[in-house]
């Protein structure tokens, strides 16, 4: 039996031909419809729409994960910078002969990189803390109680100027949208 005979049998306009090599009834697996009456086997419009909705929901989920990931990365960067700044001022205080000169709740003047003194080091440190490139709306407090020095650095989670940056209103208090690092050290 050749390939042409099989194709003629399967795709002919009549379901069964007397000239075919088969005699009798049609085999069970033979096509009963002519070639132009095939049943549609493609996608319907509703299937395509449902798959597009599922795809859109998945893409929105991925976009939200990206936004949250960026927020977490920004927060981790600010926390790392604050930790670095706290450790930097504690090291300055350890090197100083009089660490009590560092007790302050705000900037103590202008920073001069050429001048070496406790007050200048503190002013330069406050300038770093207040820099918007380091901490958004950042500030700091340094206090002492019975030989234990407490350094607190705070910053706003919001990158707008709406957040308060007053040291007296933030140090030692818990406010919304404000993160802080507080370290106690014995020098």
**30-84 pLDDT, tens digit each:** 555 555 555 566 778 899 999 999 999 999 999 999 999 999 998 899 899 999 9
Query: Does the pTM of the predicted model rise above 0.95?
Result: no
Task: List, for residues 95-144, the tens digit of each pLDDT value.
Answer: 888 888 888 777 667 888 788 888 888 888 888 888 777 888 888 888 88
Last residue of a domain, one of 9, 24, 39: 39
Of 119, 118, 120, 138, nearest to 128 (Cα)?
A: 138
Number of domains forming the structure of the chain? 2
Site of tokens 């500030």? 139
In a domain, 2, yes or no: yes
The range of the structural domain enclosing residue 25 comes to: 1-39
**Alpha-carbon distances of 169 from 11, 136, 150, 154, 156, rounded to whole Å:** 87, 16, 17, 11, 13
CA-angle at 70, arms to 132 and 134, nearest 5°: 15
Regarding whether 89 and 3 lie in a shared domain, the answer is no
Residue 34 shares a structural domain with residue 105: no
Domain match, 107 and 26 both: no
In a domain, 3, yes or no: yes
CA–CA separation, 168 vs 178, rounded Å? 14
């Amino acid at each position: 039996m050749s390939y042409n005979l099989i194709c003629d049998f399967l795709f002919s306009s009549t379901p069964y031909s007397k000239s075919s090599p088969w005699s009798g009834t049609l085999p069970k697996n033979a096509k009963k419809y002519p070639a132009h009456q095939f049943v549609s086997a493609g996608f319907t419009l509703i299937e395509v729409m449902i798959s597009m909705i599922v795809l859109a929901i998945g893409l929105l989920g991925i976009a939200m994960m990206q936004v949250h990931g960026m927020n977490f990365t920004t927060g981790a960067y600010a926390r790392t910078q604050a930790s670095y700044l706290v450790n930097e001022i504690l090291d300055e205080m350890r090197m100083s002969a009089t660490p009590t000169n560092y007790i302050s709740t705000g900037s103590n003047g202008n920073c001069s990189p050429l001048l070496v003194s406790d007050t200048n080091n503190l002013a330069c440190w406050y300038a770093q803390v207040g820099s918007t490139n380091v901490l958004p709306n950042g500030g700091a407090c340094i206090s002492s109680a019975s030989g234990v020095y407490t350094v607190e650095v705070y910053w706003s989670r919001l990158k707008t100027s709406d957040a308060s940056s007053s040291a007296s209103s933030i140090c030692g208090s818990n406010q919304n949208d404000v993160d802080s690092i507080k370290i106690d050290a014995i020098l």
